[in-house]
């Protein structure tokens, strides 16, 4: 095994053990760092001490020549930056070669959202006369009411919902736990599903909240397909995904007067700047309303 491969493997092991990152995230890091180390080797940098600022800068230049977008290049740089900080911490590098490398400039991409009316139509789309429809309805209500990521939704267990207090416990990135309140409509939809779940043939042997026919949890891809199908059925002609419900949750809260810190806590964002993007969505909404309604617009 090459020295560069051993360094990357050690970093991935550290992320797995110390940061508790998922295998999916680790695979993404491995892919990014694999491309970086292949570039480093092509310019003769095969040892830790040879990873210099010029190597990192030339890597970003190579990404540009390969028509990699600025957003993707920024992700590569983030992966490389974390790796180099690990090497400094392990005393394999004297200084961080990324410290003087500027992050690629990104245009602000506002999250796409659904209107209140579109959300209501989507939540009411599943048929309530079938067990699967009642399950899907409860999942949609839960996702929108708590602003959950789809990965958080499908891994929920029965014990994660406190019906008496009206909260759900979600496990976010890095296994960080947060409690999010649930509205009465979401709790009512959940109650409608739980009676079906109690009769499921795998109910006694599974802790999963939203059961698939086989007794396990639904995959993210399966739920995505359900959301797209319901959106099409209720006449929503824009692209819809589970994550768009999370964006809509945050935007609608801010439009209703919620403070940014509360929304940050409910979304599980580590950094407030991640949540601040929704204030631009709200601002754009206000500007459109002003232009449409104000006589001096």
- For 118, the token pair is 């579109």
Q: Are 234 and 125 spatial neighbours (Cβ–Cβ below 8 Å)?
A: yes
Is 246 one of the catalytic residues? yes
Q: Which of 42, 33, 40 is nearest to 8 (CA)?
A: 33
Is 244 one of the catalytic residues? no
Is 269 one of the catalytic residues? yes
Q: Are 48 and 87 spatial neighbours (Cβ–Cβ below 8 Å)?
A: yes
Among 200, 220, 243, 285, the one annotated catalytic: 243
Q: Which of 290, 232, 288, 285 is nearest to 115 (CA)?
A: 285
Is 129 one of the catalytic residues? no
Q: Which of 59, 61, 154, 69 is nearest to 109 (CA)?
A: 69
Q: Are 271 and 244 spatial neighbours (Cβ–Cβ below 8 Å)?
A: no
Length of the chain in residues, anyone? Answer: 297
Among 135, 149, 155, 197, the one annotated catalytic: 149
Query: Rounded CA gap, 247 and 211, in Å?
Result: 25
* 167-171 and 177-181 strand pairing: antiparallel
Q: Are 46 and 5 spatial neighbours (Cβ–Cβ below 8 Å)?
A: no
Is 149 one of the catalytic residues? yes
Is 200 one of the catalytic residues? no
Query: Rounded CA gap, 36 and 151, in Å?
Result: 28
Among 155, 244, 252, 269, the one annotated catalytic: 269
Among 16, 120, 173, 202, the one annotated catalytic: 173
Among 244, 246, 247, 252, the one annotated catalytic: 246
- For 87, the token pair is 């090497």
Residues marked active site are found at 149, 173, 243, 246, 269, 278
């Amino acid at each position: 095994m090459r020295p560069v491969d051993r360094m990357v493997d050690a970093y991935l092991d550290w992320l797995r053990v110390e940061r508790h990152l998922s295998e999916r995230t680790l695979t993404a890091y491995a892919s990014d760092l694999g491309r970086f180390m292949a570039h480093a080797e092509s310019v003769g940098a095969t040892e830790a001490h040879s990873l210099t600022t010029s190597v990192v800068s030339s890597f970003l230049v190579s990404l540009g020549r390969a028509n990699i977008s600025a957003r993707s290049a920024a992700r590569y740089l983030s992966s490389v930056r974390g790796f180099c900080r690990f090497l400094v911490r392990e005393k394999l590098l004297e200084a961080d070669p990324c410290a003087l490398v500027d992050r690629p400039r990104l245009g602000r991409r506002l999250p796409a959202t659904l209107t209140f009316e579109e959300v209501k139509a989507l939540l009411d789309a599943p048929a309530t006369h079938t067990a699967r429809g009642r399950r899907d309805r409860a999942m949609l209500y839960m996702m929108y009411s708590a602003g959950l990521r789809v990965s958080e939704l499908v891994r929920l267990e029965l014990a994660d919902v406190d019906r008496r207090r009206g909260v759900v416990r979600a496990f976010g990135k890095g296994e960080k736990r947060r409690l999010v309140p649930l509205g009465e409509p979401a709790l009512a939809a959940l109650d409608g599903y739980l009676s079906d779940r109690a009769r499921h043939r795998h109910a006694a042997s599974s802790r999963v909240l939203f059961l698939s026919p086989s007794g396990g949890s639904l995959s993210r891809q399966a739920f995505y397909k359900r959301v797209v199908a319901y959106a099409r059925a209720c006449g929503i002609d824009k692209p819809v995904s589970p994550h768009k419900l999370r964006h809509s949750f945050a935007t609608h809260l801010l439009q209703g007067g919620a403070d940014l810190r509360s929304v940050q806590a409910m979304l599980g964002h580590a950094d407030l700047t991640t949540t601040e993007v929704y204030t631009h969505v709200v601002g754009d909404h206000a500007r459109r309303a002003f232009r449409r309604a104000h006589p001096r617009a």
